[in-house]
Structure 1
Amino acid sequence: MTIAQVQTTWFAETFALLADNVEQAILGKRHVIELVLATAISKGHVLLEDYPGTGKTALARSIAQTIHGTNARIQFTPDLLPGDVTGITVFDQKRGEFEFHAGPVFANIVLADEINRASPKTQSALLEVMEEGNVTVDGVTRPVGDPFLVIATQNPIEQGGTYRLPEAQLDRFMIKTSVGYPDEAATLRILQGVAEPRGELDAVASTDTIIAMSDLARGVYVNPLISDYIMRIVDATRRATEVRLGVSVRGAIALSKLVMTWAAAHGRSFVTPDDVRELAVPALAHRLVLEPEAEFDGVTAVAVVGQILLDVAPPRENGTL
């Protein structure tokens, strides 16, 4: 079903309201906030590679408060077990039966802090939940929250004692981005105490609102030439000489879903080539595996995707010839 103009207008106004509210807690990071919100609406997950103290926890908490949802934070450490993430069944001696104790993944917004510090087995437990949307313990399957957004973080400067995320696991994240340090004006406002949140942010929407927005975003029109443009970009990543492993079909689907949400968030019922160009790097770059020689020469995945966007000709505006 194609999205109507009145629905597009409501979508854009609601999206702006959500972003405005979160921005009260995360100053000067509008684009990152919009990326994360668009990913949540697109039913994806976010990988943040960032330095300590840049507001990753505040971002997750403020989004949960904004949509009147639940949030949980998991500090990943080498001794963290899969049951600590998903939950476990415990025998209740008084009642004489097993009882399930839900883990922190049973929340709308889950912050997986420093995910690469946990063992691969524990990482896989979280990533399986991300993919399936439910938890199976002792043969019983239980759905997690809806909406369900995982914001996983990695510290780019401390690699000792970490377990590198395999490429197949990186591919499960819809986008990879970073919050980064605030600019001088935002930092000054923080230091002056102007940006101190009032305890908790007021909710401006509900989880049902996000679910409704997810359904509406699927009605955004994607011209076949836009789909062809995405396909040609993905194909170019596989043929690039610097790349050993290009973007998967999952990556192409993720970009397609994300641009539909992005178009609706900006008041349009159709996707444009500019939407694809704007989102290609956060949606695709982390999925590339570069040749060792290219990495040695200082080539980055972001640079490869950027060059591909220059080389692959887009269709004309609105996806028309």
Structure 2
Amino acid sequence: MDVDAFVLTHRDTWDRLDQLVKNRRRLTGAEVDELVELYQRVSTHLSTLRSGSSDSALVGRLSSLVARARAAVTGAHAPLSKEFTRFWTVSFPVVAYRAWRWWLATAVVFFAVTAVVAMWVAGSPEVQSSIGTPSELSELVNHDFASYYSEHSAAAFGLHVWVNNSWVAAKCIAFSVLLGVPIPFVLFANAANLGVVSGLMISVGKSDVLLGLLIPHGLLEMTAVFLAGAVGMRLGWAVVAPGDRPRGQVLAEQGRAVVSVAVGLIVVLLVSGVIEAFVTPSPLPTFLRIGIGILAEAGFLAYVGYFGRRAVRAGDTGDIADAPDVVPTR
């Protein structure tokens, strides 16, 4: 795209919209109609720029203009059903998709820490003895680990798991307020705990039990936690390095993205909790339980990949501030 030519062609339209927005309290009926028309037209310009230009400064200025124009248009928002559909087909998946590098890096580091701790614990009797007495460790690997998934009713256990996992994800989301600084420590603590348990199970030759009980629900569960941590840390980094856009604007955009992920993960973790309550402790063959977990994970990744990529190609950021309104008729 020739950005200079695009700006030259449409600058008068943008200036006129800016003028109408500034004088919105004194507009005539004809000028109100013009404001609505220009708002729609400039929204299209913004979408075109996002999909065909890398000039983030221009995109930022036009985003601000469109946002102010939207506030000036006193129309009804889209019906709740459309907002619901947009959230699940645009807002949540596109934010997750755009954060995939942070998401992947978080997962790699997490599992690297888990693997190192597991190998350390599995290969060191001294470390194992510092964790607990032989009888305590025997009780853990031979009884407690497996019984954890079946000692309560499936419904009660599912609710407990959902609340617990949501709490971990919520901490990652909440710590974004602190620019994401505490998030790596939260993830490290969880990775270390998983590594300790894994190392103890591996040391007594029960890696098959470990994987058979963790994989069915753990893939989707950990993916959700990684995503929560990724968007929180991404927000912090966006404040540190906002590029050539105003830091306040970047912070607002990333903050709204964090909210979208927080809402979306409530459902993702609910699915994970149902699997952990009803599939993980079930008498189904191990390969079938693991298959269900892999299918759930693949489905989630496919969902994010399909809808997220489609939204990115359409120039959509998933920002709630850019959600289309239903323009009123006079």
Same fold (TM over 0.5): no
**TM-score w.r.t. length of structure 1:** 0.29
* Higher helix content, 1 or 2: 2
* Higher strand content, 1 or 2: 1
Which of structures 1 and 2 has the larger relative contact order (alpha carbons within 8 angstroms, sep 6+)?
2
**TM-score w.r.t. length of structure 2:** 0.28
